[in-house]
Amino acid sequence: MTWEVSEVKAPGRRNPGADTLSARANLAITYSRLERNQEALELREKVRPDRERVLGPDHPDTLSAHTDLAATYGRLGRHPDADRLRGQEGERV
């Protein structure tokens, strides 16, 4: 079987692979531990939709990204945003 370039999708900025998403999520955790919550938020706001697109909405890593984003909103005092995400979590259970 031969592959044409148009058939191969490599991870990159537009379509990050699972390993790239894990690295971003881990960096967000590090930022949170250093109390660099705004930087953690910026990453988590990107990781959550990317994980949903790449892994699916019910994948454990996607659900974890969802929970982490809600927690970060809470740390930054964005309680309506955190509550909205937590409400979406309840709908999935």
b or e along 4-22 (b: 16 or more beta carbons within 10 Å of the residue's beta carbon)? eeeeeeeeeeeebeeebbe
Q: Give tens-digit pLDDT for 10-51.
A: 444 556 788 888 999 999 999 999 999 999 999 999 999 999
pLDDT at 87: 83
Nearest alpha-carbon partner for 51 in 61, 37, 36:
61
pLDDT higher than threshold 50 for residue 93:
no
Please tell me the predicted confidence (pLDDT) of residue 20.
Answer: 87
Q: What band does 90 get if pLDDT is binned at 50, 70 and 90?
A: low
Question: What pLDDT is attached to residue 9?
Answer: 45
> pTM score, two decimals?
0.74
* Arithmetic mean of pLDDT over the chain: 82
Residue 63: its pLDDT value, please? 92
